[in-house]
Structures are given as structure tokens and as C-alpha cells.
Structure 1
Amino acid sequence: MVELQAATKLDAVFHALGDATRRHMLRDLAGGERSVGELAAPFEISLAAASKHIKALERAGLVRRTVAGRKHLCRLEARPLEGAHEWLGFYKQFWSGRLDILESLLRQEDAAKSQGEDHD
């Protein structure tokens, strides 16, 4: 059951990160708290559309929204990104290993060519 909950949270994080507008909003929030209007400003979207994006970020646990009067303030909650980072880390190791093998093969090929030229 714990693994299912973790997978569901990870799915929500990747869903949230799957949209360029939301990624841009997260990047803005890394600089500090922003209002919904401030988050919407760089885009040609309504406040209602911006709020929908923010709700997706909230569902993923990436954003915490507080209300101060009529102003909705958002701040970054980076902890859920740790799970995504760990998941992607596996593939970093995978590709690093593959690239190390490729580098070795290319060095062997270069060495073989050098030896062939020396004998000409």
C-alpha cells in the first residue's frame, strides 16, 4: 500500500512537470513566494487557467497556496521533487554506464587505427 501511494505521488509530480507552463511557474517559485497573478503574468492565460495549473502543482505537493484576503500566494514545496530525482537517477546511472562502454570502444577503435597506420 505504501508503494502504491508513493507511485501515485510520483505520477502526480511527473504529470505536473509534464506541462511547460507549470515548469515555468515552479522555476519562478524557486525565487520566492508569488501571487497567482504574478505566476500568470508571463503567459497569455486567464487567472482561472493559471489557477488550474496551480491546482495540478498543489495535487503533486509541489506548491502550497495560502490566502491573504483576496490575494492567493503560492510557494514552492520542493520535497516531492526528491522522488522524481531518485527515479531519474536510475537512468542517469544507466546512461553513464552505456556512455562509458561507448567511450571504451571508441578508444579501442582509435588505438587499432593508430596501430594500423604505424604499420603502413
Structure 2
Amino acid sequence: MTDNRNDGLEDRLKRLGSELSDMRKEDPRYAADEARAAENRKGYRVAVKLSSEFVAAIIVGALLGYLLDHFAGTGPWGMIVLLLLGFCAGVLNVLRSAGMVAAPHPADRVGRTGNDKNDAA
């Protein structure tokens, strides 16, 4: 007896779900709300990406500075210099990701490969 009742409830639930989806498709407010929510999610995703790139660059700079100071005995100077370089690298990465600064051209990179007129001589 409980199987028939569960089957009836499942059928009603499926029918209700399909009716709701049909009503949402017809409602223009629902489409606008969904577009706004998608835009907000995209903004949060970009914000998390940019902030994590910035923080990671600073942490890597600080860690490398600490290791330099520890093994070379340079006092706080390695940490200070590499922390500042990490900060600058983080700012540059954020600006590149945000589209404010262009990425370097592949031909300008050090150690480039390919056919070049200067390489042939």
C-alpha cells in the first residue's frame, strides 16, 4: 500500500516541477533575475581569482626572502627586498588579469625559440 502512495507522490512531484519550470520560462522577471545572479557569480569568481593571485605572489616573495636570509645570513634585507618584489609581481599579475596591462609579446621573452633573422648568422 505504501508503494502506490509513494508512486503517486513522485508523479505529483514531477508534474509540479514541470509546471513550475513552464511558469518560470514564461515570466520575464525570472529571466532577468537569473541574468543578474549569473553576473554576480562571475564578479565573485574574478574577485577571488585576482585576490588569490595577489596574495600568492606576496607569500612566495616573503618565503623566498626568508629562505635567503636563513641560508645566506643576510639579515632582514633578503626578506625586505623579495617581499617588495613579490608585492610588485602581485600588482602586475592583477593588472594583467584585469586587462589594464598587456601581456608581454612572445618575441620579447628571454629564451625564445623559433626562426629569427639574427639567429641565422
Q: TM-score range by the shorter chain?
A: 0.3 to 0.5
Report which of the two has the higher share of strand: 1
Question: Higher helix proportion, which one?
Answer: 2
TM-score (norm: length of structure 2) = 0.36
